[in-house]
A and B are shown apart, each in its own frame.
Chain A
């Protein structure tokens, strides 16, 4: 596919407008895509680049496409006329645009093959300075309810990590598309006692209209890791989704980072402990503390946490090294809850990642409370 030279965001979105419209029509005519090359995919990527440093340095080092065990494709980075827009071209026919305008979350766009783009994002988000955004079950549901019309959902729960002879739980993966009844299906699933703690949304599908013109619409699949697949007739609806998603997500991040980091402060010569812990309460059966400690802190995926659990009264405590971003924090594990103490530098995304991964691989019966028993998540 010939790729036009894009000079700024306006041109980029005009280019996308044409492509998402064609993609939608192709779907209508053929009922399926021949391949997904023309489908717009947006990824929202959280970054932790130190203030004042050149993002291009980090992009050069981390935005590598691994296509084989030893084959790495480096991007050719083109700076557009818009200083906040970069174009990355990979030899393997993948073009990626990065909107750097937000100081915390970048938008990455591509019309290229989904598998390559996902592989790239996977590599990038494994690096220390970048992470996915992590949209937990309730966030996805609420976002769908307040921003569009539900068109379906995806579920993904996999207990493999914690499974042992005495304790096995189902793997639950499910897709439901194009149904206005999807909410009712989800509600019905929740009524099955054996399943209710394993029903974890991995994606929501929604339709959004321009309120003044019904013919201007967008169909979006929003995945829990920040990937959005897009087709429809109005790119502006998609841009508004990105804006709202980032706004809501930043609300969560800043709340965690402003209130729930424990630090020592010297005020007028006296020492104070500032900040509060976060309590991950499990509402149903008890946590198998030994099992969790054995499986959760060995550095393996999805948690990527490393630590040596130590016995304390009533439970365990682990000084945790977060292999994902290279941060350090403390977790206490009791039979009915985790208590997390973030240190002064740790990023709030750590909590959102931990919580989302708990929902996908351990149980969806946790709620996060503060000391006042206000629900944080």
Chain B
């Protein structure tokens, strides 16, 4: 059976966003979930305090209607790693356990009205769920509702099941306790930023970069200049690009230059007819493509460029730096 690409973190994130947005693909669950009137308060928000250290849930939902906040943490890591993983002085699990309403309202700026109660649902893989349940049973002070998320290739469906502990709000608990299964997932978020250096994610990003390059060649006038940074911003969107570290930005820009240099070697006509690299300190390119011939030229090179970038260039390029997309509040 053809199984198709599956990324745990990306799937969980898209599931949660779809649930909140009332996705058609997640009906009837998303419709029922809408009744709780949760908003997405933030994605990947880092909440830092000196007593607590950092916590950085994947998604925070808050609802003024049912006065509840959910801090979803999804992980492919084993419980032992989470219990030992130090950042500041305590393990991640401990930092979550010690999180208080005041931390979330005063530092996280989550409205108090939605903090009458809050939960920290942990979403883990089938491989690790037993380990988490055992750990939480032995350490009853950890009250995290613990869910398993997976795709069953036999049944061709995704499953989300609440396996341990309860949500504070009875209706929310009932919702998750019934279990959720669905066949398709939306793709609100396309990249798993935590795996940016892994082959699948890297090829996706470079494919998108290639499309942005095509867009620039299409939309620019003869004589226009574009930079590697402009291509990157268009790929990640301005908002996300701003959240990248300086090192990350530099690495991506350098890779774009390499990608274009390889393209010039493979398809020399690109440099002759479409655009060339300008000499200077920053990486920038000048459009020499005549508008009159744009369509003919682009039709000739577009597919060749895309195929070449996907099959040959992207796997060779390296992005190895860690990402901190969203910073701290």
A323 with B189: CB separation less than 8 A: no
- How distant is B54 from chain A, measured CB to nearest CB, in Å? 16
Interface: A313 (CB within 8 A): yes
A313 with B211: CB separation less than 8 A: no
A306 to B210, CA, bound (A): 12
- How distant is B200 from chain A, measured CB to nearest CB, in Å? 9
Among the stretches A170-178, A242-250, A258-266, the one at the interface with B is A258-266
A128 with B218: CB separation less than 8 A: yes
Interface: B50 (CB within 8 A): no
Interface residues of B in 181-207 (CB under 8 A from A): 183-190, 204, 207
User: Among the listed A271, A277, A313, A321, which residue makes an inter-chain contact with B151, where contact means beta carbons less than 8 Å apart?
Assistant: A313
Interface residues of A in 306-351 (CB under 8 A from B): 306-308, 310-317, 319-321, 323, 325-328, 330, 332, 334, 339, 341, 343-344
What are the residues of chain B within 8 A of A29 when measuring CB–CB? none
- How distant is B149 from chain A, measured CB to nearest CB, in Å? 13
What are the residues of chain B within 8 A of A269 when measuring CB–CB? 109, 329
User: Among the listed B4, B24, B240, B326, which residue makes an inter-chain contact with A314, where contact means beta carbons less than 8 Å apart?
Assistant: B4
Interface: A167 (CB within 8 A): no
Interface: B42 (CB within 8 A): yes
Interface: B219 (CB within 8 A): yes
> Interface size on B (CB < 8 Å)?
59
Taking each of B109, B211, B295, which has the highest tally of chain A beta carbons within 10 Å of its own beta carbon? B211
User: Among the listed B22, B41, B208, which residue makes an inter-chain contact with A371, where contact means beta carbons less than 8 Å apart?
Assistant: B22
B43 with A313: CB separation less than 8 A: no
A339 to B212, CA, bound (A): 21
Among the stretches B86-94, B167-175, B246-254, B303-311, the one at the interface with A is B303-311
User: Among the listed A273, A299, A316, which residue makes an inter-chain contact with B188, where contact means beta carbons less than 8 Å apart?
Assistant: A273
Q: Nearest CB to that of B219 among chain A residues?
A: A326
Interface residues of A in 110-169 (CB under 8 A from B): 126-128
B6 with A313: CB separation less than 8 A: yes
Q: Nearest CB to that of B183 among chain A residues?
A: A314
Interface: B30 (CB within 8 A): yes
A339 to B189, CA, bound (A): 14
B22 with A372: CB separation less than 8 A: yes
A312 with B207: CB separation less than 8 A: no
B43 with A273: CB separation less than 8 A: yes
Interface: B229 (CB within 8 A): no
What are the residues of chain B within 8 A of A13 when measuring CB–CB? none
A266 with B239: CB separation less than 8 A: yes
Interface: B45 (CB within 8 A): yes
User: Among the listed A263, A268, A330, A344, which residue makes an inter-chain contact with B109, where contact means beta carbons less than 8 Å apart?
Assistant: A268
What are the residues of chain A within 8 A of B40 when measuring CB–CB? 272-273
> Interface size on A (CB < 8 Å)?
54
With contacts A308-B207, A308-B307 taken as known, whether A270 is within 8 angstroms of B215 at the C-beta atoms is no
B219 with A263: CB separation less than 8 A: no
A326 to B215, CA, bound (A): 5
A323 to B4, CA, bound (A): 27
With contacts A308-B310, A319-B207, A326-B214 taken as known, whether A371 is within 8 angstroms of B24 at the C-beta atoms is yes
Q: Nearest CB to that of B210 among chain A residues?
A: A321
Q: Nearest CB to that of A270 among chain B residues?
A: B42
- How distant is B198 from chain A, measured CB to nearest CB, in Å? 15
Interface: B302 (CB within 8 A): yes
A321 with B43: CB separation less than 8 A: no
A341 with B188: CB separation less than 8 A: yes
Interface: A107 (CB within 8 A): no
- How distant is B215 from chain A, measured CB to nearest CB, in Å? 5
Interface: A194 (CB within 8 A): no
Q: Nearest CB to that of A325 among chain B residues?
A: B218
Interface: B17 (CB within 8 A): yes
What are the residues of chain A within 8 A of B325 when measuring CB–CB? 271
What are the residues of chain A within 8 A of B45 when measuring CB–CB? 270-271
A312 to B212, CA, bound (A): 23
User: Among the listed B25, B298, B307, B329, which residue makes an inter-chain contact with A339, where contact means beta carbons less than 8 Å apart?
Assistant: B25
Interface string of A284-303 (1 = CB under 8 A from B): 00000000000000110000
- How distant is A292 from chain B, measured CB to nearest CB, in Å? 16
A330 to B326, CA, bound (A): 24
- How distant is B259 from chain A, measured CB to nearest CB, in Å? 16
User: Among the listed A307, A320, A344, A373, which residue makes an inter-chain contact with B237, where contact means beta carbons less than 8 Å apart?
Assistant: A344
Q: Nearest CB to that of B108 among chain A residues?
A: A270
With contacts A128-B218, A315-B4, A371-B23 taken as known, whether A264 is within 8 angstroms of B306 at the C-beta atoms is no
B292 with A64: CB separation less than 8 A: yes
What are the residues of chain B within 8 A of A306 when measuring CB–CB? 214, 302-303, 306
With contacts A128-B294, A268-B109, A330-B187 taken as known, whether A298 is within 8 angstroms of B219 at the C-beta atoms is no
- How distant is A64 from chain B, measured CB to nearest CB, in Å? 7
What are 29 A-to-B residue pairs whose CB atoms are below 8 Å? A127-B295, A128-B219, A128-B294, A269-B109, A269-B329, A270-B329, A271-B43, A271-B239, A271-B325, A272-B43, A298-B303, A299-B303, A308-B310, A310-B5, A311-B3, A313-B3, A313-B4, A313-B151, A313-B158, A319-B204, A321-B214, A321-B215, A323-B218, A323-B295, A330-B187, A332-B184, A339-B187, A343-B237, A371-B23
Binding site for B on A (CB under 8 A): 61-62, 64, 72, 126-128, 262-266, 268-273, 276-277, 279, 298-299, 306-308, 310-317, 319-321, 323, 325-328, 330, 332, 334, 339, 341, 343-344, 369-373
20 further A-B contacts with Cβ under 8 Å, apart from A277-B23, A326-B214, are A61-B292, A127-B295, A266-B242, A270-B42, A271-B42, A271-B44, A272-B40, A299-B303, A306-B214, A306-B306, A312-B4, A313-B158, A313-B184, A321-B302, A326-B218, A332-B186, A339-B186, A344-B237, A371-B21, A371-B30
Q: Which 3 A-B pairs have the closest CB atoms?
A: A326-B218, A270-B42, A311-B4
